[in-house]
Amino acid sequence: MNIEETIVAIDELKLNGFPHEHVKLVCETVIEFQPDIICEWGTNAGNSARMLYEAAQLIPCPLHSIENGQQGIPPLLEGCHINLHHGQGLDLTLALTAGSERPLILIDDHHVYQTTYDNLAILSEQRPQAVLFIHDSLASEATHALMNFLSSNGGYKVTDSTSESGLTRLWPV
C-alpha cells in the first residue's frame, strides 16, 4: 500500500480520538522520518496502537505498545503483529529504544501538567533524536506543560494538529 491508501484504510477503521488530520500527520511522519522503532504508551482500547500499526506497514519497523494496567489484547489489536507490554510507559520506552537511531514515540499518558512535562524533559534528555507525538495535547494541563517545555527547550520544531483533542509532533532541529 502507498501512503494515500494507508490513510484511507486507517480512516475507514474510524479509530476513536484519531480524526483524518491525525492519521495523515502520523503517516507522513513515518515516511519522512523513517523510524527504526515505534513506541506508544497509554493503550486503552488500542486506537493509537492500531493507527501506528497500519502506518508502520509503510516501512519495516517494529511497533511496541505499552499499557499500564489493562491485561490482554484489546480487540482492535487482535491479529496485528504488535509487541504488547504492560508496565510504566516511560521506563519501558527508554529500555526499548536504547540504541535506536530514529525512534518515534507517541505519548498518550495522564494529561496532567507534571507528568506531561516530566515525560518531555526526560525523553528530550535521554532520547534527543526521537520524534515525539503528544496525543490530547489540547487538554489544558498538557498544553501548559508543552508550552513551558518548549519555551525552555528550543531544540524542537513543532507541528500541531488543530482537531478537538490535538496531536502535537515535536522533532529535533
CATH code for the domain in which residue 11 is found: 3.40.50.150
> How many structural domains comprise the chain?
1
Residue 122 has a pLDDT of 96
Q: Determine the Cα–Cα distance for residues 98 and 124; give it in Å rounded to an integer.
A: 14
For residues 106 and 48, the answer to whether their CB atoms sit within 8 Å is: yes
Chain segment 120-165, per-residue pLDDT in tens: 999 999 999 999 998 877 767 888 898 999 999 888 999 876 666 6
pLDDT band at residue 101 using 50, 70 and 90 as cut-offs? very high
Q: Residue 164: what are its φ and ψ, rounded to 5°? A: -55, -50
H runs (alpha helix) in the chain? 3-12, 20-33, 47-56, 89-96, 113-126, 140-152
Indicate the pairing of strand 167-172 with strand 156-160. antiparallel
Q: Give the count of beta carbons closer than 10 Å to the beta carbon of residue 21.
A: 12
Domain that holds residue 37: 3-172
Q: Give the count of beta carbons closer than 10 Å to the beta carbon of residue 60.
A: 8
Chain segment 1-60, per-residue pLDDT in tens: 899 999 999 999 988 878 888 899 999 999 999 999 999 997 667 888 899 999 999 998
For residues 105 and 127, the answer to whether their CB atoms sit within 8 Å is: yes
